[in-house]
Structures are given as structure tokens and as C-alpha cells.
Amino acid sequence: MTTVPFAPHPTTEGFVTRFAPSPNGDLHLGHVLSAITGHEMARRRDGRFLVRIEDIDVARTREAHVASILDDLAWIGLTWEQPVLRQSHHFRDYAEAARRLRHMGLLYPCFATRGEIIQAVAAEVARGRGWTSDPDGAPLYPGLSRAIGADEAAERIRLGEPHAWRLDMEKALVECRRRLSGEPLTFVEIDAEGREAVVPACPERWGDAVIVRKDIPASYHLAVVIDDARQGVTVVTRGRDLYAATDLHRLLQVLLGLAEPRYHHHRLLLGADGRKLSKSAGSMSLRSLRQGGMTAAEVCQEIGIERLGVTGLRR
């Protein structure tokens, strides 16, 4: 029996939500909706609200962004429990979880570069084969490193060749079915009023997903399931853009024996171009709206949050 260095939260009781921003930019209104949704759902049920800084991508993290995110959340009128978990402090735990998956035979090293993957997919398409994309729009991994034998892989790793670790989806699904005694993999989605719906999960649509990145001993998918379990999060509140990722998260939770939270995927705020707000699309930051003189009440109005009946917010 392997030991787990991180202690999963002992219970999944109560109502514990979280807001988990990546500090590679300032918050925009979409983040504010996300944070208020989690805060409000917890407040209404006498629950707990946590903030987690998802800074595994240390090269893109700026301390100034961490500070401005927390300052913006406080300005809006939110309060959260201390201490704020920083994922960059927990790489050992993600590495240990990956080691467990490896020992179960569910991960394999992938040495392929992005360019090689694109080329392999293009060659398949040129041969007239259709190629499926994952829910994020990236072509499914064409299996380039799958055929590499264990000895060769070990040697290349020993020589320091950069590699990611991918989930062997076929094997993972078999193991998942075994653990669930043949029951289907699902997740529970709750609406803002707490009504539940059971949703079938199809992690296979992600193909052999990257579980440990080349540049970082973790990935978003691995770190998020470890930390939701560690922090005893019972309701994961986040935008609908992450709806499909939940399928993969449920699979990892089953494989790693982690508690199952429920999920609330809230609506997305769209820009004038009909696309979801994002840093990359240059959406207005909360910081610049504040500097322009907007009040917290006006921000809430802008995102149509009154409908949630927020009372704890500064007006």
C-alpha cells in the first residue's frame, strides 16, 4: 500500500466551495461571476468558501497578479478562509499522485514535441482519415510514444530527454470500471437552488490526456483533483467552459480513490463578439473598471448577479 503525502480532507460533509484562479493576469468580470457564485452558494447554506491560487505554471505566475486578485475579491466584498492554498507549494503531492498512477500502469512517458504531434495528425488527415479533437479543440493525441518499450523509455528518461506523462485512457477506463464494479462513471451537477442531476461522464473524449506536463511536475487536471480533495471541497463551482474537464476529473478521482464532490458549472459571460470573456481576448480587467470609477454594486449589476440575491456584498 503506498502512502499519500497529502492528507485528503477527512469528511465531505458540509457545503464547501472554492474559487481557483490562475494568477497569470488580472481578474475580469467572468472571474467575478465565478467567485461570487461560489461565495453566494456557500453563504446561503452556512457553508465555507475557499480561495486557491492555481500557480503550477510558475513561469507565467506574477506575484503582482496574486496580490491584485486578492485585492479585487476583497473590494467586491467577498471574504474567504485563511490560509489561501498556493499550488506551487505542493508539487511533491502532485508528483506522488502521478507516481501512484504510474505504478498502476496507467501513465506512459510521451517524448513527442508539439510539432511532431501536429505533423502526425496532418499525415493521418492527408491519408483521408478524419481526426477527432478533444473538448478544448486540440487534436486527440495520435499515440506517438505509445509503442516505445519500457527499456528504451527508461533510458531516454535517464538521459534527461524532456517528456510528459500521459494517461493510457484505455487502461484507465478498464481500471475505473473495475473500481466502480461496472457502474457507469458519472458526476452530480447541482443548480443554484441545490437541485441535483446525474450526468454521464465520458473521459475518453480527452484521449490520452497529459497528466504531468513536460515543463512542470503536474498538470491542471491532476492538481485540481488533489486539491479539491485535500481541501474538502464538496461543491466545485466554476464556469461551463470546464464542464467537459469534469469527466476527466471524475476519472482521476476514482483512480486515485478521492472523494467525489458535486459540481455547479455556472453560465459564462460573453463579450460583444459572442465569445467568452478571457484574458487572451483582451477583456476588460476588473482593475481597469475600478480605475474607471465603477463601483462594486455596478460590477454586480453588469454581470446580472442580483438574481442570486447577494446580500453580503458592498453596495
Which residues does residue 239 pair with via DSSP β-bridges, in sequence order?
A: 266
Q: Where do runs of H (alpha helix) occur along the chain?
A: 29-44, 63-76, 91-103, 114-126, 150-158, 169-179, 220-230, 245-256, 286-291, 296-302
Selected range binding ligand GLU among 16-24, 101-109, 256-264, 289-297, rule: CB under 6 A:
16-24
- 268 forms part of the interface with ligand GLU (CB under 6 A): no
Q: Give, in order, the Cα–Cα distances in Å from 86 to each of 56, 57, 63.
A: 9, 11, 11
Stretch that binds ligand GLU, among 19-27, 90-98, 99-107, 182-190 (CB under 6 A): 19-27
Q: Which CB atom, from 23 or from 109, has the smaller least distance to ligand GLU?
A: 23
Describe the chain by its helix, strand, coil percentages, rounded to 5: 40, 15, 45
Given the complex with ligand GLU, which of 55 and 208 has the nearer CB atom? 55
Nearer to ligand GLU, 50 or 255 (CB): 50
Q: ∠36-229-108 over CA atoms, to 5°?
A: 115
Site for ligand GLU in 47-76 (CB under 6 A): 54
CB of 169 to ligand GLU, least distance (A): 21
Contact 265, 239 (CB under 8 A): yes
The three cell numbers of residue 205 are: 473524449
What is the DSSP pairing of strand 210-212 with strand 164-167? Answer: antiparallel
Name which position in 36, 173, 223, 224 contacts ligand GLU (CB under 6 A).
Answer: 224
Among 242, 244, 268, 294, binds ligand GLU (CB under 6 A): 242
CA separation for the pair 246, 249 (Å, rounded): 5
Stretch that binds ligand GLU, among 15-23, 185-193, 203-211, 305-313 (CB under 6 A): 15-23
Residue 20 touches ligand GLU, criterion: CB under 6 A: yes
Report how many residues bind ligand GLU under the rule CB under 6 A: 7
Residue 58's nearest CA partner among 215, 175, 250, 277 is 215
32 binds ligand GLU (CB under 6 A): no
203 near ligand GLU (CB under 6 A): no
Binding site for ligand GLU (CB under 6 A): 20-22, 54, 224, 238, 242
